[in-house]
Amino acid sequence: MKNPWMWISIVALCITAIVLAVPVRLTSQANNIQTIPTGGRYEVAPTTQGETKASNLPTSPNERARDATFEVYWGGKLQGAAFLEKSGYVVTVFYLIDGASEDLSIRTVHGTTVPVRIAKVNKREEIALLELKEKLPDVEPLSLADSSTLSFGQPVVLIGSPFWIFPTATAGIISGLNKDGAALGKGCPTCTKLVQTDAATGPGSSGGPLVNEGGEVVGMLALMVLQSNAFNFAVSTEHIRALINSME
């Protein structure tokens, strides 16, 4: 062998390509549903006769989705994203808050930090519900779309904090439905009914809502293929809704 270093370099590049092609979580580690002592949920203040909703609330679907999306912090670090669902719970990916300390909090697009606690998790599907420990400023919660109405090629927008740039919106389509996490290798082997999208992502995107043209959540980003950035997978709203309903 005339140049052994050349062959070593080729082998190293091949191993790197294989690793990058495996779907991964965008931070830490993940076994199934667990309930934690309850706290407070966000409640939309009712309007009295003659009152109108705050005029500073955005009107476009994408801007409403932006304002209802948060950054998640604990341990002094930014972990990823989350969003406020109309039930009053803040929804995020379980592995982002796995092992979280007492300093778990969310930060709004306007820079307000609000402490939260874990209310309930579904480790199998990588979902966590968070409850607010303090009042959240005016935000219009997001609704979950019916997963049975999603269509192949449907346009979507992903909102999150890719590469810690918050808020960021990226556009794409639904490029696949009902994907099985076990077939994707590492990342979330127990996840089912994943929604595939080509909307661009990056570290910090996990937990962000994938929304349709009406601003409804069609999925929550959980996995990405680092090599391409065009193969990303979101948790189904069917599983998110089931966990929320279990809190009733």
Residues 6+ apart with CB under 8 A from 167: 66, 69, 109, 159, 160, 161
Residue-by-residue pLDDT tens, the chain, 248 positions = 555 555 555 545 454 444 444 455 654 333 344 433 334 566 544 433 434 344 577 789 999 999 999 999 999 999 999 999 999 999 999 999 999 988 999 999 999 999 999 999 999 999 999 999 999 988 999 999 999 999 999 999 999 999 999 999 999 999 999 999 988 866 788 999 999 999 999 999 999 999 999 999 999 999 987 666 788 999 999 999 999 999 97
Residues 124-163 as b/e (b if ≥16 CB within 10 A, e otherwise) read bbbbbbbbbeeebeebbbbebbebeebeeebebbbbbbbe
Tokens of 175: 């490029």
- In the chain, where do the E strands start and end? 23-24, 33-35, 69-74, 77-84, 90-93, 105-107, 113-122, 127-132, 155-160, 168-179, 194-197, 209-211, 217-225, 232-236
pLDDT tens digits, 148-207? 999 999 999 999 999 999 999 999 999 999 999 988 866 788 999 999 999 999 999 999
What is the Cα–Cα distance from 196 to 210, expressed in whole angstroms? 10
Q: What is the pLDDT of residue 194?
A: 97
Which residue is associated with the tokens 């192949």? 152
For residue 42, the model assigns a pLDDT of 63
Q: What is the largest CA-CA distance in the chain?
A: 87
Place of tokens 């090629």: 153
Token pair of 164 as six digits: 């810690």
Tokens of 100: 């979280």
Residues 132 and 187: their CA atoms lie apart, in Å, by 28
What is the distance between the alpha carbons of residues 219 and 237, in angstroms, rounded to a whole number? 5
**In degrees to the nearest 10, what's the CA dihedral of 91, 169, 153, 235?**
-20
C-alpha distances (whole Å) from 124 to each of 95, 137, 182, 216 are: 11, 32, 12, 24
Considering the entire predicted model, what is its pTM? Answer: 0.81
The reported pLDDT for the residue numbered 7 is 53
Please state, in angstroms and rounded to a whole number, the distance separating the CA atoms of residues 199 and 173: 7
DSSP for 115-158, please give it.
EEEEEEEETTTTEEEEEESSPPPS--PBPBPPGGG--TT-EEEE
